[in-house]
Amino acid sequence: MRWPLLTVVCLSLLAGCSGITGFGATGAPETTPAPVPAATEQTTTPSAPPGLDDSGLDGVSVLSNSHERALENRSYTFIERYTMTTIRDTGRLRVSRNETTYVEDGRNYRHDLERRRLLPNRTVERYEQSMYGDGGTWYERRDDGTVTYYRGDLRFYRDEFAGEAAFYVDQYVSATRSWTRRVRRNGSLYYRVTGVGGTPPGISQAESYRFSLLVAPDGLVRELRVRYTTTVGSQRETVGYQFWYEDVGSTTAPAPSWLDEARHQARNRSTGSGT
């Protein structure tokens, strides 16, 4: 089970182009053309993506739906980071989760998960899992090194992880006050949305709740970052979650290091462990 858990003013210079062409009839007196007026520069401000306006959020569900539509039929790399630090009478516990998903298309993809628990006695517990699909077989490698594989024309909905990101947007983009500004990143226009005073899912109150979004003009949420603290009795928890997208439209799913051996084992078996 997986764990839960913009903005530079763009100036468009539209130069009006006008000219005067004289058509003289034979024998008509010559006239001097009137001066051509200088082209007038107009500055336009692009509209914010659906779910946003210049003052901040204008509909979280509208924004999450726009995000899913923006990733339709596009490859991408989806990266997640989650941390939770709990301070209690018995000491400090820190949990972290790192996930990276490469979505090449609906047949070729890879997902890597690493989870760590740093216990109060400084002991570290670690868990890893990886999945890889090549269109004909889906391999799942568990933490103990065993690999389960499934054969057949395996497909999943291409926007599966886009839907996951949309879920986190719906859950975490909460604020009593938000604002939007235009920024540029690598020369491209984005919308940076910041919100404060919200509440996390399932919790009625949180301290220092703050989120930040980086949204592309087409509605793609390129980044989400959220951080908050809660206190229940003597227990205090600080949670941080973020995701971001890379290589949108140019992602390929790299083969994991263990794949050759897994394929070798699969060829030596008459049937897989599932279909």
Tell me what pLDDT residue 225 has: 97
Residue 158 — pLDDT band, cuts 50, 70, 90? low
Least confident interval from 72-76, 83-87, 130-134, 265-269: 265-269
Tell me what pLDDT residue 27 has: 41
Enter the pTM of the model: 0.77
Alpha-carbon distance of 136 to 258, in angstroms, equals: 17
Res 54 pLDDT > 70: yes
Decide if 210 contacts 226 (C-beta within 8 A).
yes
Alpha-carbon distance of 71 to 254, in angstroms, equals: 20
Res 66 pLDDT > 60: yes
Mean pLDDT over all residues of the chain? 81
Q: Residue written as tokens 């596009």? A: 74
Least confident interval from 118-127, 155-164, 218-227: 155-164
Res 63 pLDDT > 90: yes
Helical H segments across the chain, by residue range:
60-70, 160-172, 259-267
- What percent of the chain has a predicted confidence (pLDDT) above 70? 79
Q: What is the mean pLDDT of residues 117-141?
A: 92
12-49 pLDDT tens trace: 322 333 222 222 333 433 344 444 444 444 445 678 89
Measured CA distances, 33 to 49, 144, 241 (Å): 46, 86, 67
Is 271 or 223 the better-scoring residue by pLDDT?
223
Res 161 pLDDT > 80: no
